[in-house]
Structure 1
Amino acid sequence: MSGTLKATGRVGAGAGVWLPRVAWAALIYNVLVILWGAVVRLTGAGAGCGEHWPLCNGVVVPQSPTLHTVIEFSHRLTSGASGLLAIGLVALAFVGTTKGHPARFGALLSLGLIILEGLVGGVQVLLGLTATSTDPARGFVQGVHLANTFLLLGALLLTALWASGGPRLRLRGQGRPGALVGAGLALLLVLGMAGAVTALGDLLFLPADSSTPVQTVRGDLGAVNLIQNLRVIHPMLAILTSAYLAWLAAWLRRERPGAQVSRWSAALWTLLGLQMLAGFANIALKAPGWLQLTHLLLACIMWLVTVMLSYAALTGLRAARPAPAPLRGAA
């Protein structure tokens, strides 16, 4: 039976018990890694290992490291651990499920995105796009990094859902709901990329004086650096995306009614409100580090909630179809 979990064998049974646990743990762990990566940016420690990657200052373990080196090296260690966790997730998925089970695809996709995440970070270091660099290419790489991060979190979430016995996701035949959900997710990705550029611009160009928000915007528009110019796009895009997602959540409640859709649409509305408040506070308080971290955490949670809402809506009409068999030993 393609798509079912192994029902025999002690190895498969043990893997079946651990697969969902490891998948959920990997998701939570990667959110923490993302936040620590933001700490690296906020402290200017991105060049703590020099322009060396994967080595740190040309060695495996730095000797007599500075504080910036410790911060950057610890981020590399935690990122490497996420890769090992992803490899373990793939191994468990292939041992604990049979051919065709969606958890296998999710685990492989997660591993591929983690590898890509490391490569993007490596490119950033090797090209010197860290610390105080104002090269416009840094903004592009930062945006790609964030988009890949969101895709990774989405892949890990789906893997955890499938490993826990959730129905597989089919995109064909979804019609208008599928198109509108896809547009919402795409908008949120673009918003995240713009937010990454804005956060970088706040670090590099935010004036320390008592300039009003209007004066700051005028300065950004008249600046010669592209990263500073783009800082003004994120707030406008945030308003547009928030309005669309709020409407989409209400529309899905009507078109794909169900307890899960209602629950996740309400969660999305709450997060949209919190994010707007955090965004305005960022502008008013001139983006202090703790608030930037809060804003990023809320962004990660909002992305995951939007993926959950999309998953619930697109699988709701197929709930009567056989879902992947529960993991052996998990019942």
Structure 2
Amino acid sequence: MNELSSTLRATPGTDTRPRSSVWLPRLAWAALAYNVLVILWGAVVRITGAGAGCGEHWPLCNGVVVPQSPTVHTLIEFSHRLTSGLSGVLALVLLFVAFRVTPARHPARFGAALSLGLIVLEGLVGGVQVMLGLTADSTEPARGFVQGIHLANTFALLGALLLTALWASGQPGLRLKGQGRAVWLGSAGLALLLLLGMAGAVTALGDLLFLPADGSTPIETVKRDYAATATLIENLRVLHPMLAIVTSAYLLWMAATLARLRPDAQVRRWGLWLSGAIAVQMLAGFANVALKAPGWMQLTHLLLACMMWLVTVMLVYRALSALSLRSPSTVSGAQRQGA
């Protein structure tokens, strides 16, 4: 009987982990997917101009817990706050389960704690934006700055949730020591993508507030953005497409270089996925400009940006979790010893 039990435990495909351990990765992946939806709904709030639907009150809505006789804008803003609040609840549950079913110093614990901290920061940034009146039709330059910080924190949150899900699924931790150029290549790529996202948030805000409804060409729009009466947000709109070209070129080079430095099948696979994501996102960017940034296209562009960010995080993670290659001198020395 003991031998049969041992055989069953060793049978491939037989999951003998406690039920709570099985649920940890599922919860982490669900939290990641859910937060992508929350981010898209937040974009709906911006696109519809419903950011002031609860007035300048936060966390209350129009000074009360549950708004009375709400308008459409109030319903949109209030529902976004509810869905964001549920993100916090999910993060708390994720942290609790991670500490309950994983041993000390397990990377999933760090990922869950980081995710919770970033969700709290996300809520605080949103609260500051509301209380300062940087919503709806506000054209204050500070709104563009806060919007960019909001997007950067959002990307960081998605990255933390992705790593938590990977670690909860049994994937190895990051190996930063001895990785050499791979660390700097990946860090620079992620930093550039964050800057690109922040610039994109400012451009999307500028499209919402200042994009003319007439048949102006892109060149005429750029000239209007630098007219004497143009605001800082309008001045910065052209920064995003310029950064997109530079960042895309770097990411393609980074993917090829990482595949050469870390000749691993996963690194090559995610490098190809990143190349495809860049191509699709560039097409979406051109379509967004050509169509005068309609709401549905802005949501598509944002979703693709989230996917491109996650693919880049996966590529860098795979490169930095792979075993470091031995130097030529080490290999030759080992060969001499073997001889």
CA RMSD of aligned residues (A): 1.1
Match of 1:6 in 2: none
Equivalent position amino acid for 1:193 in 2: M
Equivalent residue number for residue 116 of structure 2: 111
- Quick one: distance in 1 between partners of 2:225 and 2:288? 16
Cα deviation code 1:249-275 (max 9, x no counterpart):
111111111111111111100110011
Alignment partner for residue 209 of structure 2, among 204, 209, 212?
A: 204
Question: Residue 47 of structure 2 contacts residue 295 of structure 2 at CA under 8 Å; is this kept in 1?
Answer: yes
Q: Does 1:49 align with 2:35?
A: no
Cα distance in structure 2, aligned partners of 1:221 and 1:31? 34
**How many angstroms apart in 1 are the aligned matches of 2:179 and 2:260?**
15
Q: Does 1:314 align with 2:315?
A: no
How far 1:318 sits from its partner (Å)? 5.7
Query: Which of 142, 145, 152 is matched with 1:140 structurally?
Result: 145
Residues 50, 56 of structure 1: 8 Å contact kept: yes
Supply the AA of the counterpart residue of 2:90: L
In structure 1, the partner of 2:89 is 84
For 1:23 and 1:308, locate their aligned partners in 2 and report how far apart those are by CA, in whole Å: 15
Structure 1: distance between partners of 2:126 and 2:176: 31
**Greater mean deviation of Cα atoms: 219-228 or 123-132:** 219-228
Which residue is 1:4 aligned to? none
Give the Cα separation in 2 of the matches to 1:96 and 1:287. 46
2:179–2:324 contact (8 Å) kept in structure 1: no
Shift of 1:180: 0.8
Contact 2:125 2:150 in 1 (8 A): yes
Which whole-Å CA distance do the structure 1 matches of 2:154 and 2:247 have between them?
19
Alignment partner of 1:257 is 2:294: no
Quick check: 1:167 aligned with 2:172?
yes
Inter-partner Cα distance in structure 1 for 2:187 and 2:278: 18
Partner of residue 98, structure 1: 103
Deviations 1:11-43 (CA, angstroms, capped at 9, x unpaired) = x92321111000000000000000000000000
Residues in 2 aligned to 1:68 and 1:53: alpha-carbon distance in whole angstroms? 15
CA distance in 1 between partners of 2:324 and 2:253 (Å): 23
Partner of 1:283: 289
Equivalence for 1:178? 183
Report SS of the residue matched to 2:61: coil
Does the 8 Å CA contact 1:44/1:132 hold for their aligned counterparts? yes
> Counterpart in 1 of 2:12?
none
Supply the distance in 1 between the matched residues of 2:78 and 2:144 (Cα, whole angstroms): 22
Residue 36 of structure 2: SS of its match in structure 1? helix
The alignment status of 1:293 with 2:299, answered yes or no, reads yes
Q: In the comparison of the two structures, how many residue pairs are matched? A: 308
The answer to whether the 8 Å contact 2:267/2:315 transfers is yes
Aligned: 1:155 with 2:160: yes
Deviations 1:44-86 (A, max 9, x none): 0000000000000000000110000000000000000000000
Asked whether the equivalents of residues 45 and 68 of structure 1 are also in contact (C-alpha less than 8 Å), the reply is yes
2:25 corresponds to which residue?
Answer: 20
Q: Secondary structure at the match of 2:130?
A: helix
Normalised by the length of structure 1, the TM-score is: 0.92
> Where in structure 1 are there 5+ consecutive unaligned residues?
1-11, 320-331
SS of 1:167's partner is coil
d(CA) in 2 for partners of 1:208 and 1:195? 20
- Which amino acid letter does the alignment assign opposite residue 220 of structure 2? Q
Identify the residue that residue 243 of structure 1 maps to in structure 2: 249
- What residue ranges of structure 2 are gaps of 5+ in the alignment? 1-16, 326-339
Between the two proteins, what is the percent identity of the paired residues? 75
In 2, Cα distance between equivalents of 1:112 and 1:162: 18
Are 1:303 and 2:290 an aligned pair? no
What is the deviation of 1:224?
A: 3.0
Task: Please report the TM-score for the alignment, with normalisation by the length of structure 2.
Answer: 0.89
Contact 1:197 1:227 survives alignment (8 Å): yes
Partner of 1:64: 69
Q: How does 1:119-130 map onto structure 2 within 5 Å?
A: 119-130=124-135
8 Å contact kept, 2:95–2:116: yes
Residue 8 of structure 2: aligned partner: none
